[in-house]
Amino acid sequence: MLREFRIQDFAIADDLEIEFAEGLNVITGETGSGKSVIVKALSQILGHKSSPGAVRAGRDRAVVEGVFQWRPPAFLAAELEQAGIVLDEDDTLILSREILANGRSTSRINARAVPTQLLRRVGEHIADLHGQYQHQALLRKNDHTEFLDTLGGAAHRALAEKTAVAHKEMSELIAEKRRIDSSRQARADERDLLIFRVKEIESVIGGAEEYAELEANVKRLENAETLGEAATEAYEMLSPNGSDTSAYNRIENAISHLSQFEGLDPRIEEARAALAEAAPLVDAAARAMRSLASDSEADPTRLGEAQDRLIEIRELIKKNKCADASDLVAFKNRAAERLAELDREDCSGGELEQRIEKAAADLVKFASALTESRGKVCGKIEKRMKVELEELGMKGARFKTSLAPAVDPDGLPGSAGAERAEFLFSANPGEPPRALSEIASGGELSRVMLAFKTLLNRDDTVPVLVFDEIDTGIGGVTAQAVGGRLAALGGHRQVINITHLPQVAAFADVHIAVSKEQKGGRTLIRTGIVRDDTRLRELSRMLGDAGVRNASVELARQLLSDAAEAREAAS
């Protein structure tokens, strides 16, 4: 519940502190005394839109703060903790809003700055604000289906949710199918280009290592004649078949010469052994040079082919905007992967058709069950609304819910099901029910809304209900019935009600009076809890007594007595 509420420099309020209690809190005051300022200020800490005009003239900022005793549901508590907000063990939650003169504002929860969106999300779960403008929802046919489903209970709302989810899934699949179909030609063109690029690259290079080998081969072919001559000359210098001065023959001569001195010195034997090991190596080198010489004949044809291929690869590297051969091969691999992806997308078209059919079947199944459930809910609501409206002084009034088919051109239900609800109403016996927007007065709408809130009382989890003069347009016995209904709501949650009716105010657990005073040439709002004699005087004022006549006081006392008896009878 809302325990404390502070308003500073907001509109004509300079510094107000209001304490609320459990049950029914009633706020009264003369027309223009500032009651609406309190509601507007309260809307700010619930995350409603702020405006520069909210700041008191001559001030640079306004501050609104509410101290709530409330434990958020688990999912919301998780969001708050994720935002770095520490929740107190005593379930105290402080919502505040600082509004600058230029219209910008800062929202805070437990003194930590938060996005206004988060403040609004908390506000939606902590307080429900109803005023004359909220009643306009009853005049909008598009909102009636939502009203109906809200009154349908948990199982019914689950069906409505399943229908909405099934419709969303089907719509997303259809959108995906349309995207794939619309891009079919573009994919075909992309596929043709990718196939060409892949084949073009594969025709000249299989891997990055081939390019390095090709470069080396071109270099060899370009230098084949010089390389052959050098290899022949080296062969002559090394081979045993060469001249007497070849390396191999010199080694053999050295070995033969040293053999004459065998046994004279160990070092001679070591040298001879080393030369014996070197001889085969020199012979092998000579044979390698002979092989190189025979393979190094100039071949202009092979050279031209290798050079052409090298040029082709380099052109492909440039054409595909690659850095080198490795990048070109990577480009080819990516192109091949994209081709596979395009093939999967084409295959997925058929799969999507099947998934769309299944989603549509699920949608029809859930919507059909929802239609059947709505028929039952309509009957229950009509009976319960008849009782509630009679209790609110509308004996003989009829409330009816009409269900009209609402499907798309293919005959499929929408996100809200296969029908749309519309509320029909007749305030007078003998008159057929017609659209609320055509016949209901402001006072009748107020009572219909209050009847709705009464029906929702068991399922509604919002702890604070705020009503801003929803009793406009009624009086007498009806006003007492409205007060009784508000008091009954206050038995389950905190109700804050702004009223101009003494019959309603008499039911208050806490009665707060608002007044204006002049100070220093400025108009200020003042509030205070009225009890005993001051409450009698406030009720007398509401009855039209500018002074305090005995008759007015007695009537005020009687209203309090009647309200107490009504409460006792209701309990």
Q: Can you tell me which residue has the tokens 């049950």? A: 23
How far is the C-alpha of 97 from the C-alpha of 91, rounded, in Å?
A: 20
Mean per-residue pLDDT for 137-146? Answer: 76
Name the amino acid, one letter, at 232: T
Listed range (23-27, 182-186, 532-536, 548-552) with the worst mean pLDDT: 182-186
DSSP state of 322: -
pLDDT of residue 162: 94
How far is the C-alpha of 475 from the C-alpha of 551, rounded, in Å?
A: 19
pLDDT over 60 (residue 116): yes
Report residue 246 as tokens.
């070849």
Mean per-residue pLDDT for 435-447? Answer: 71
pLDDT in tens, 283-311: 787 777 777 666 656 556 666 676 777 77
Cβ atoms within 10 Å of 401's Cβ, excluding its own: 22
CATH assignment of 2-132+463-527? 3.40.50.300
Among 451, 504, 510, 511, CA closest to 478: 504
Are 100 and 77 spatial neighbours (Cβ–Cβ below 8 Å)?
no
Mean per-residue pLDDT for 141-148? Answer: 83
pLDDT of residue 219: 72
How far is the C-alpha of 324 from the C-alpha of 314, rounded, in Å?
A: 8
Report residue 302 as tokens.
């092979």
Helices and strands (H, E) in the chain, number of each type? 18, 15
Report angle CA 393, 396, 398 to the nearest 5 degrees: 105
Listed range (370-384, 412-426, 462-476) with the worst mean pLDDT: 462-476
SS (H, E, C) 473-508: CCCHHHHHHHHHHHHHHHCCCEEEEECCCHHHHCCC
Mean per-residue pLDDT for 9-19? Answer: 90
Model confidence, pTM: 0.63
pLDDT tier at 17 (50, 70, 90 boundaries)? Answer: very high
Burial pattern 230-259, b for ≥16 Cβ within 10 A else e, equals ebbebbbbbbeebeeebbbbebbeebeeee
How far is the C-alpha of 156 from the C-alpha of 456, rounded, in Å?
A: 14
Better pLDDT: 295 or 538 = 538
Among 497, 512, 420, 427, CA closest to 464: 497
Are 87 and 110 spatial neighbours (Cβ–Cβ below 8 Å)?
yes
Question: What torsion, rounded to 10 degrees, do the Cα atoms 377, 383, 386, 389 define?
Answer: -50
> What percent of the chain has a predicted confidence (pLDDT) above 90?
31
* β partners of residue 435: 424
Q: Determine the 3-state secondary structure of 243 from DSSP.
A: coil
pLDDT tier at 274 (50, 70, 90 boundaries)? Answer: confident
How far is the C-alpha of 517 from the C-alpha of 500, rounded, in Å?
A: 20
Better pLDDT: 344 or 411 = 411
Are 481 and 393 spatial neighbours (Cβ–Cβ below 8 Å)?
yes
pLDDT tier at 179 (50, 70, 90 boundaries)? Answer: confident
How far is the C-alpha of 138 from the C-alpha of 406, rounded, in Å?
A: 19
pLDDT in tens, 490-537: 988 899 999 999 999 999 999 999 998 887 777 788 999 999 999 999
How far is the C-alpha of 440 from the C-alpha of 389, rounded, in Å?
A: 13
Among 432, 402, 433, CA closest to 420: 402
Range among 10-14, 187-191, 292-296 rated most confident = 10-14
Report residue 281 as tokens.
């190596």
Mean per-residue pLDDT for 303-323? Answer: 78
Among 442, 444, 440, 488, CA closest to 465: 488
pLDDT of residue 225: 61
How far is the C-alpha of 419 from the C-alpha of 368, rounded, in Å?
A: 10
Phi, then psi, of 194 in degrees rounded to 5 = -65, -40
Q: Determine the 3-state secondary structure of 348 from DSSP.
A: helix
pLDDT over 90 (residue 376): yes
Are 21 and 464 spatial neighbours (Cβ–Cβ below 8 Å)?
no
pLDDT over 70 (residue 136): no
Better pLDDT: 413 or 135 = 413
The distance of Cα 353 from the centroid of its chain, to the nearest Å, equals 28
pLDDT of residue 468: 82
pLDDT of residue 166: 94
Mean per-residue pLDDT for 328-336? Answer: 86
Distance separating the N- and C-terminal Cα atoms of the chain: 22
pLDDT over 90 (residue 146): no
Domain boundaries, the chain: 2-132+463-527, 188-341
Report residue 539 as tokens.
């009720």
* Alpha helices (H) along 86-183: 116-126, 141-150, 154-182
Burial pattern 16-52, b for ≥16 Cβ within 10 A else e, equals bebebbebbbbbbbeeebbbbbbbbbbbbbbbeebee
Report angle CA 118, 123, 125 to the nearest 5 degrees: 105
pLDDT over 90 (residue 144): no
> What percent of the chain has a predicted confidence (pLDDT) above 70?
88
Report residue 331 as tokens.
């480009």
Q: Which residues contact 301 (CB under 8 A, 6 or more apart)?
A: none
Report residue 255 as tokens.
């070995």
Strand-by-strand arrangement of the 105-109 sheet? 13-19, 2-10, 61-69, 92-100, 105-109, 112-114
Cβ atoms within 10 Å of 476's Cβ, excluding its own: 10
How far is the C-alpha of 83 from the C-alpha of 431, rounded, in Å?
A: 55
Sign of CA dihedral 168, 174, 180, 182: negative
Residue 500 CA neighbour count, 13 Å, CB half: 15
pLDDT tier at 218 (50, 70, 90 boundaries)? Answer: low
Report residue 523 as tokens.
């108009």
Residues in the chain: 571
Residue 340 CA neighbour count, 13 Å, CB half: 6
Mean per-residue pLDDT for 32-54? Answer: 86
pLDDT of residue 137: 59
Mean pLDDT (the chain, rounded): 83
pLDDT over 80 (residue 176): yes
Mean per-residue pLDDT for 17-32? Answer: 92
pLDDT over 70 (residue 226): no
Mean per-residue pLDDT for 4-12? Answer: 92
